[in-house]
Amino acid sequence: MYKKPFIAGNWKMHKTVSETIETLEELKSLVKGVSDRTIMVAPPFTSLSDAGKLLKDSNIFLGAQNMYFEDKGAYTGEISADMLLEVGCKFVILGHSERRHIFGESDEIINKKVKKALQKGLTPILCVGEKLEERENGMVEEVIEKQLEMGLKSLTKEDVLNIIVAYEPVWAIGTGKTASPEDANSVHKFIKDSLKNIFSVEEDKSIILYGGSVKPGNIVGLMEKHFIDGVLVGGASLSPVDFSKIIKF
């Protein structure tokens, strides 16, 4: 079990290798000595090897933004778990809304990826979240319950104890809109209750992150809520100064 708060940065399709090195060198100095929380960054695939060398023996963990569920083969453009492990990744983000809605990834595909990550010893960060029309139609819990059930299908309690869930309301990602801390907390409670009901995972044993326009200005309000264990930060994680403020909230 990793420490809470858990602060993760998803850089998406940003930063070349040289920009990654520059950013991480500055971030390392800004958060040096922070030991009471877990810090993770997920740069693009092209930067992972250099990032892994730079972050070795630091207090910042390396994660990847995606992976495929086969070990090797004729899968042009894909990356395997072994490739991620060799460059130093400990985490992999799976089922991000952009993978679901732009690239058409299904719950079944995401479930295969989660199983492969666990089999290889990577910690999956499974993303779930509703679209705006689903929220407006009162379908938040229905949508998230299905994503959890399908994404975690055929897993054991021990498996689920090694998974982090990130709640990312699709309408709040990159839009500047943020779910209110109260709304986010309510959904986090639902996720924790679901994990307890389905897998008998106790509330304090699960790690549920909030993602969706997290910034230095709203981190405190989010982290004050009982069921929010950390955050998955997008745009603000690209700035070492802003991300360090979020980390050291």
The CATH code of the domain that includes 42 is 3.20.20.70
- The angle at the Cα of 151, spanning 140 to 202, to the nearest 5 degrees, equals 80
DSSP H or E segment with residue 138: none
Domain containing 27 equals 6-247
DSSP H or E segment with residue 28: helix 17-30
pLDDT, position 226: 97
- Which residue among the candidates 26, 168, 188, 226 is catalytic per the annotation? 168
pLDDT, position 58: 97
Domain assignment present for residue 1? The answer is: no
Domain count for the chain, please give it.
1
pLDDT, position 132: 86
Q: Would you state the structure tokens that stand for residue 8, as one six-digit string?
A: 């993760």
What is the DSSP secondary-structure string of 47-82?
A: GHHHHHHHHTTSSEEEEES---SSSSSS-TT---HH
pLDDT, position 158: 96
Q: Per residue in 217-237, is it b (16+ CB within 10 Å) or e — as a string?
A: ebbeebbebebbbbbbbbbbb
Backbone angles phi, psi at 12, to 5 degrees: 55, -145
pTM over 0.75: yes
- Which residue among the candidates 70, 96, 130, 203 is catalytic per the annotation? 96
Domain assignment present for residue 179? The answer is: yes
Domain assignment present for residue 135? The answer is: yes
Domain assignment present for residue 105? The answer is: yes
pLDDT, position 178: 74
Tens digit of each residue's pLDDT, the chain (249 residues): 799 999 999 999 999 999 999 999 999 999 999 999 999 999 999 999 999 999 999 999 999 999 999 999 999 999 999 999 999 999 999 999 999 999 999 999 999 999 999 999 999 999 999 988 898 899 999 999 999 999 999 999 999 999 999 999 988 877 777 789 999 999 999 999 999 999 999 999 999 999 988 999 999 999 999 999 999 999 999 999 999 999 999
pLDDT, position 117: 98
Active-site residue, 96 included? yes
pLDDT, position 184: 94
Active-site residue, 226 included? no
pLDDT, position 196: 95
